[in-house]
Structure 1
């Protein structure tokens, strides 16, 4: 037994071996097709499957409202569809002890931004690492560095807010079941499979302490299989709403053939199902307004190309086309949105295709 006069021996976290920072998988993940360093600063990698799932669909405001009403769900279930496979995810909230009270948190917009920023930091030399023996893929960083990255992208957060989000990601569990005609895939893990801090001081007093995050196994698998695409991270982080960011990432994953004259169709029902971000709206009308607002922002940011259409004899420039699907009583049951890529998005998509082909050849 340990003597009461002597503290228990501290459990020391062993950082990854240096070879994990210079392996082929990391070298490829940190390689982008661009002409200048300033362009490279704007780029990161999207993970198609992971980024299209409804992972961060519960806002703090909605969660607070559900707690007050006594409707806070013990388990969050979302259904999605990806490349013909039906995907069901079950999310268990993180239980965090704060001031003697246990509060449950589902990962939301704050945690989405934290993960995106960490994936960006992982593209910096000597920050991202990959260990083939486990396998595990992660990043080392300081809270100061992460705060600076978020602030530079317009999402300033306090030290305490960032640490809370890290703990939520490390303690929230996500169970993923995917079914197609041939196989069934099952995976359960926390959003971050590991969260560790190495410091000589108390972590609240050392913003420069080194932290280590290991990403979800699906992200690790994508790294190994080179199932990722470079994209304009700076632009994605600049969007005003969470739905705009999700739609941007969805187009990156699905609209890989974007070019002049090409179009992309997506239904309101698909956005509602796959994003999970419209559940808090009381009716379809408000939710559809939110979708229109997000699509309009994509056009304003140079991702979608507005179209000149004649409406009631007058020429109007519209950011997207929409065709309503009406029910028997004339109510709108669904909407088909037709989107056209702007030159900027088309160019970035072609560049991402070229970079992916280059990586696969290595």
Structure 2
């Protein structure tokens, strides 16, 4: 094969009109809700992809490591999903900053940008699904993306947004599992494609049309209808990254949430699968961060506060905890028990009904 043909194959081909109006994207953009205002608060979560510790390296922690000369060339994290042991290996993006090559791991800003783009992809004439590849992506302008981020309380400059897009397009994530029945191996950049079409030139053109193609695991989930509608606006309103991760985790795992039904998770599980507590030197500090995140979820209407009695005293708490004490009389682990709010329970039931509706519609269309 000639190099000329290779270059032609790699050249970006904008999606066709049909890709914006096909069965898969129509289902993806269909929510079960009462009115348009409620629809505007919804997006879709992808259980496997959203439960992986993809954004565990903060920009601040990375800068400290760079100064100390301890910045990792690869980030290796072990986690679990539905009982399967999964290993992920993240390679940072290498970007040219005014002649200096700098490495960036995807962090909080990149996660917010991805979530905002996934929301934009649920809008008509923005999300597309190309059956011939297959590929799933979104068409947008930087102005539109910045407007969406600002609307959700996460204002970013033009340069900050473009930097995050480049980091997501250059950082690669390798996902593998040795499970005999459900083997996984996938290696790709977070965004499998980032392209722009601009008449005025790339530099700060507010009308330039950008295209992002999401990770192949998201494309596979679109095809299999392995996604769940959830309250995106509420998730984006949480102030901490850990609270947002826990929200998505509950959306993915607590699928039969009913008022009064409990859900249990361990501190060790949260630490392992979120990857967000490694920066705390002691478990005690990490446990405090988890408590604060649960409090945030309760204050924002995700969890039902619990009234606990301690002798004559009473206190309201977002969870019950069972401390596991080790041989040295130290807390080795904590089992947290939480209860869904009426709002979260209602949203979970509606998400279940929507999944069933979409799958029935998909089967009927075949």
Q: 4+ runs of 1 displaced by more than 3 Å?
A: none
Worse-superposed segment, 18-27 or 174-183: 174-183
Deviation at 1:133, TM superposition (A): 1.1
Q: Secondary structure at the match of 1:293?
A: helix
Counterpart of 1:37? 36
Deviation at 1:313, TM superposition (A): 2.1
Counterpart of 1:136? 135
Counterpart of 1:268? 267
Deviation at 1:212, TM superposition (A): 0.2
Counterpart of 2:283? 284
Counterpart of 1:81? 80
Q: Secondary structure at the match of 2:222?
A: helix
**Counterpart Cα distance in 1 of 2:91 and 2:160:** 20
Counterpart of 2:317? 318
**Counterpart Cα distance in 1 of 2:353 and 2:280:** 40
**Counterpart Cα distance in 1 of 2:231 and 2:182:** 34
Deviation at 1:203, TM superposition (A): 1.2
- Describe the superposition over 1:55-107 as per-residue Cα deviations: whole angstroms up to 9, x where unpaired: 00000000011111111000001111111211100000000000110000000
**Counterpart Cα distance in 1 of 2:182 and 2:34:** 42
Deviation at 1:346, TM superposition (A): 0.4
**Distance 1:303-1:205 versus aligned 2 partners, 3 A rule:** closer
Q: Secondary structure at the match of 2:203?
A: helix
TM-score by length of 2: 0.95
**Counterpart Cα distance in 2 of 1:272 and 1:183:** 24
Q: Secondary structure at the match of 1:353?
A: helix
Q: How do residues 299-314 of structure 1 correspond to structure 2 at under 5 angstroms?
A: 299-314=298-313
**Counterpart Cα distance in 1 of 2:288 and 2:67:** 27
Worse-superposed segment, 60-69 or 242-251: 60-69
Deviation at 1:12, TM superposition (A): 6.8
The answer to whether the 8 Å contact 1:13/1:198 transfers is no
Deviation at 1:132, TM superposition (A): 0.9
Q: How do residues 208-219 of structure 1 correspond to structure 2 at under 5 angstroms?
A: 208-219=207-218
Q: Secondary structure at the match of 2:192?
A: strand
- Describe the superposition over 1:107-142 as per-residue Cα deviations: whole angstroms up to 9, x where unpaired: 000000000000000000010000111110000000
Worse-superposed segment, 231-240 or 203-212: 203-212
The reply on whether 1:193 has 2:216 as its aligned counterpart is: no
Counterpart of 1:327? 326
Worse-superposed segment, 165-174 or 204-213: 204-213
Deviation at 1:180, TM superposition (A): 2.0
The answer to whether the 8 Å contact 2:137/2:214 transfers is yes
The answer to whether the 8 Å contact 2:158/2:204 transfers is no
The answer to whether the 8 Å contact 2:42/2:233 transfers is yes
Worse-superposed segment, 204-213 or 56-65: 204-213
Please tell me the root mean square deviation across aligned C-alpha atoms, in Å: 1.2
Deviation at 1:182, TM superposition (A): 2.1
Deviation at 1:49, TM superposition (A): 0.4
The answer to whether the 8 Å contact 1:306/1:318 transfers is yes
Q: Secondary structure at the match of 1:323?
A: strand
Q: Secondary structure at the match of 1:177?
A: strand
TM-score by length of 1: 0.96
Deviation at 1:304, TM superposition (A): 0.4
The answer to whether the 8 Å contact 1:196/1:212 transfers is yes
The reply on whether 1:151 has 2:167 as its aligned counterpart is: no
Q: How do residues 1-362 of structure 1 correspond to structure 2 at under 5 angstroms?
A: 13-362=12-361
The answer to whether the 8 Å contact 1:84/1:180 transfers is no
Q: Which runs of 5+ in 2 are unaligned?
A: 1-7, 362-366
**Counterpart Cα distance in 1 of 2:302 and 2:77:** 28
Q: Secondary structure at the match of 1:133?
A: coil
Q: How many residues align?
A: 353
**Counterpart Cα distance in 2 of 1:294 and 1:329:** 28
Deviation at 1:260, TM superposition (A): 1.6
Q: Which runs of 5+ in 1 are unaligned?
A: 1-8
